[in-house]
Structures are given as structure tokens and as C-alpha cells.
Amino acid sequence: MVESEPKVFIPESFQVNYDIVTQMKMIWDVMKAPLIVPFLNACVYISLAMALMLFMERVYMGIVIVLIKLFWKKPEQRYNYEPLREDEELGNSNFPVVLIQIPMFNEKEVYKVSIGAACGLSWPSDRLVIQVLDDSTDPVVKQLVEMECQRWASKGLNITYQIRESRGGYKAGALKEGLKRNYVKHCEYVAIFDADFRPEPDFLRRAIPFLVGNPELALVQARWRFVNSNECLLTRMQEMSLDYHFTVEQEVGSATHAFFGFNGTAGVWRIAAIDEAGGWKDRTTVEDMDLAVRASLRGWKFLYLGDLEAKSELPSTLRAFRFQQHRWSCGPANLFRKMAMDIIRNKKVKFWKKVYVIYSFFLVRKIVAHMVTFFFYCLVIPLTILVPEVYVPIWGAVYIPSVITILNSVGTPRSIHLLFYWILFENVMSLHRTKATLIGLLEYGRANEWVVTEKLGDSVNNKTKSGDAAKKTNAKVQKKTRSKFVERLNFLELGFAAFLFFCGCYDFQHGKHNYFIYLFLQSLSFSIVGFGYVGTIV
């Protein structure tokens, strides 16, 4: 008697799922050779081209900054510079009248220090006009700021408290409205300080002589220093990125083309240059860069002083940092869309300066730098693991990003030990910046969104407190600023964390390049940001 084979009963739901997986695999196999492989190859070539653009830009900047440090004369030697002093006969009349503008919006934590720093400038009080441009919507904050202005006015300072009926134009609207006042006609220069900025007392005495002695100069820009850079890992990462911007990008632009993007604060403008350039405009969220480009196209020159510093505060919460980075990425891309043809058609600016502004300043730094970081290292390379037919050269995947990273680290040598995590963190933020850049280029959605960066008051730098007390205060501040767990979640980052983890697992099982080490670490970084905990790591 022949024994019958045992019957295997497969659940119907499992059969359905098995059939779906089989069909998807068949579709993948059919589409891979004619469609997916050529498309991914094209993405690799485009990414490599962008990586080479960024690489050559970084190498060029590195060479120029070395030459500047070794051979360039100091600004005091390159420009006509004569310190201003009181005259026995003329008194203070040889000092130009300077306007100080401090734009504010619900700045309860920092309004006192910013107003106090402006009032403490060592400039003749009869040649100084201070405007506090308060767009606050909180009536309590408005009252506090107004009382602080009155307190300084009672000491003999020429300080005015100015409000508007609406926040039209945001910061640009406030600055523009401030320049319309009749008393501003007597002012030759305007210094702008955001609410968390604290210039040293000699700030004007060091900056103004450059403008007085060089009528072709429109702007003197100072460097930012960060009082809370040691607060947490998030602020350390920001310091590394911004220090490169100030140490290299601003210095090179100033020395080679007398042009760079105004940083919106800690700078002194010639009011005549602002008027000639068309004044403040609110067509983008980077009104400072907009004004700088328009003034440059009029033939005005800019000077960056790396040894002239103003203290400021870095965003110490991920939410505040993300809003800031959206504005800083979306705005320049949107401005490039609006001004590219104006720059090309301009006849007052030399050809090489136009090339620098269009290619280096806008295209490479404001667009390519964000996109290549995200598309190549977070999307294309992981996808090539799933499609082994696509080849990525080792020089593009490893050597070029390594050199770029080393060159970026020169601005903050004290944080060299954080370089590896800085790379992973910048890759995570490149997702957010790329999205903002595309919004700006296409001018849709949140292209004109303006969210004021939250400031916490920098309690760590209060000299009247001991180190332990400062740490306790910071802990309380962080505790207050923590939102609910669900509100902290960033689902886009969490989705990419899962994608990179899957690619890492696949590479560990089937790959040949050992990318899984990088992919697992990058997945972990996306997860940390996705759960919103990066701002709490000290």
C-alpha cells in the first residue's frame, strides 16, 4: 500500500501575502534593467558632478584663506583708516551721527541685555540715536521693553521705543519703518543688532572709521561669537558650521571681491547705500542678503572684520533650530530665483564678480551644498546597495567627502573630536535644508514663512552665578521648553532612519562595500533627531 504524502495547510492570508511579495519581486526584476539601473546611474553621475563642484569650491576657499592669512594686509592697511577722536575745538562734531536699530518680537528673555549693550557703546551720546523696533504681540513684553527704554532715556540716552500696527514685512518692515523717521535724516550710518546680540563698547569706534575714510564702502560686518556654544551638543554642531562660514567664507568674499552676504545683524551700513539699493524689501525671508546683493550690483563694496566680534545666542532647541534652518535655506534659494537674471544683466559689476556671486555664493553654497549631501549620501548611495549593478567610485563615496569635512573643520579646531558626529548630524539636517531649498526655488508652500528664532536668555553666561547654579538654571529652562513626546516626533527623519537601517541590514547580508557601518550610524542619527532629543545631549 502506497503511503500518501502529508498535506501542508497554508493559511489563506499567508498565501495572499506570499503572492503579493512574489509579484512585487517579479515587477522589480522586470523594471530593474531597463529603468531603475539607468535612472540610478544618472543620479550617481549628477551627484558626482555636484560633489566635485562642492569639492573644488572648498579647495579654492581653503587655498585663498591660507594666502590671506599669510600674505594679505590687514584691513587697517588695505583701507584708509584713521581712528576718530574728540577734538578740543570741535568737540564731538567730528563724530558722525549713528543710528542703532534693535528689532524685537516678544523677546522677554533678552531685551534687557541687548538694549543695555547698545546703550553702553562708547560713542558720544549726542551723536547716537537708538531705536527699539518692537513688533511684540504680548502686551506684557511690550510694557517691559517700553519701561526699559524709558529707564535708559532718563539717564540721558537718545533712545526711542517704536511699535507698528501690524507686522507687515516682518523684520524688513520694521527696519524700513524705522528709517522713515524725520530724525534719521541726520544719521549717516545705521548699526543693526538683533535682540540677542551684545556688541562690545568699542564696536562703533572700530567699525565706523572704515566707512568714514572709504566712501565706496557700504557695509562693515562683524563676526558672531556664541555665548552658549557649550550648552549642548546641538549648539556645538552649530558652532562648527557657523565658524567655517565666518572664518573662511566671509573672509574670502571680503578679501577677493569685497562682497559677502550681510548676516542681518552685527553690521554697520551706510544709509545712503541702503537708499540707493532700493531700501529694505520683504519679498524673501532673507531681507539682509537681498539688500546686500542689490547694493553690490550698484557698485558698493563690503568689508568683513574677523577680529570685530559681537556676542550672540545659538538656538538650543531642535524646534527653534529647524525653523531657523528652513528660513536660511529657503530664503537664499528663493532670492536666487528672483535675482539671477538681474545679476547676469548688470553692467556695473565686473564679469568675475558676477561669476562669483552666481556660481560660488548662490549655486554651490546655497543650493548644491544642501542637495548633494542629502541626495548622494542619504539617498543614492543607500539605493545602490539594493541595486548592485550601479557602481559608485570610491573617490566619490569616501575621498571627496573626507577632504570636504576636513576643510570644514578648520573654523573650530576645539571641536575636532566631534567631527564624525558633526558629519552625521549635517547629513540629517541636509534633508530639512534640501526640502526648504526646493520650496524656495519653486516658490510654493512655506516659501515666505517667517518664525522668529526662540531665545532662552543665555543663563550660562551670567557671571553673577556659579557654575552649579548655572547648570541648574539651564536644566529648568530645558525642562520648560520640552514639549510632549508626540509633538517632538519628526516623522520624515524617522522614515529615513528606517530606510537607512533596512539598507544597512541588506548590505550586511549581501553587500560588498561594508557601507552598513556608515548606514547604521546614520540611521541612529536620523532616529535621534526624529525623536527630537539632539538638543538635550550635553
* CB of 360 closer than 8 Å to CB of 58: no
288, 290, 458, 507: which is the annotated catalytic residue?
A: 288
What are the strands, taking DSSP E only, across 213-279?
217-226, 267-270
The dihedral over CA atoms of 257, 261, 267, 271, expressed in degrees to the nearest 10, equals 80
Q: In what helix (H) or strand (E) does residue 131 lie, and over which residues does it extend?
A: strand 128-134
- From edge to edge, which strands make up the β-sheet containing 98-104? 159-163, 128-134, 98-104, 189-192, 267-270, 217-226, 301-312, 198-199
Per-residue b/e over 210-229, b at no fewer than 16 CB within 10 Å? bbbebeebbbbbbbbbbbbb
CA distance linking residue 375 with residue 368, whole number of Å: 10
AA identity, residue 223:
R
Of 80, 92, 136, 76, whose CA–CA distance to 111 is shortest?
136
CA distance linking residue 232 with residue 230, whole number of Å: 6
Q: Is 288 marked active-site?
A: yes
Where does 392-515 have alpha helices with state H? Answer: 394, 400-408, 419-442, 467-481, 485-488, 491-510
DSSP-assigned beta bridge partners for residue 129: 99
DSSP-assigned beta bridge partners for residue 159: 130
Burial class (CB in 10 A: 0-12, 13-18, 19+), 103: buried
In the numeric block, the cell 547698545 is attached to 118
134, 135, 282, 507: which is the annotated catalytic residue?
A: 135
- Sign of torsion, CA 113 274 320 360? negative
Catalytic residues: 135, 288
